[in-house]
Structures are given as structure tokens and as C-alpha cells.
Amino acid sequence: MKIKGAMTILNKRCEFYGWTFDELIERLDNGWDDNNSVIVAYEVFKMHQGLVWSGYNGNGWTTREKRDEQYIIWKKMQKTAESPLHSTETEI
């Protein structure tokens, strides 16, 4: 899907709900669930703005630089965390 098609879908969804475009985007940013075509259009819109998805540390759409920073933080946390699932000791 290209940005023109994404904008058409998002604008039609705004008309359907009676919301402004900004209201729809804000609700989608906050976890509003909608049908698949609206979610894909939203993702295309965000990528067109130059953002990338980052699930590290609870982040969402962000810049590439901030995503890379969050990855480094997440990686350090993984190295220092002691998980009982990965422990070599066994309890009896």
C-alpha cells in the first residue's frame, strides 16, 4: 500500500467515526483496535513520516536513532538480568 491509498482509508475511517484525522491517529497511537486495512494504512502513514516500530522497553513508533538507543539499553538489560528460566541451578 502506498501513502495515497493509506490516506484514503484513514480519511474514510474518520468520516465513519465522525472524528478528525488527528483524533483517529491519536486513538490508534494509544492502542485503538480497528480492522486490518485501517491498521496497515496507519502503519504506512507512520513509516511515511520517517518513523519505525520499536517494541523495545515498551516503545512504539519512534525515530531510527531512538530505536537504536533503546536496543542498546535492552541488550544491556538482557545481559545483566538473571532469569530463572535460564538458570543452570536446579531446585530440589
* pLDDT score of 18: 97
d(CA 31, CA 65): 23
Residue range 13-40, pLDDT digits in tens: 999 999 999 999 999 999 899 999 999 9
Identify the burial level of 34 via C-beta atoms within 10 angstroms of its C-beta, where 0-12 means exposed, 13-18 middle and 19 or more buried: middle
- What is the DSSP code (8-state) at residue 81? -
* pLDDT score of 25: 94
- What is the DSSP code (8-state) at residue 18? T
Q: Which helix (H) or strand (E) holds 67?
A: helix 64-80
Does the reported pTM lie above 0.95?
A: no
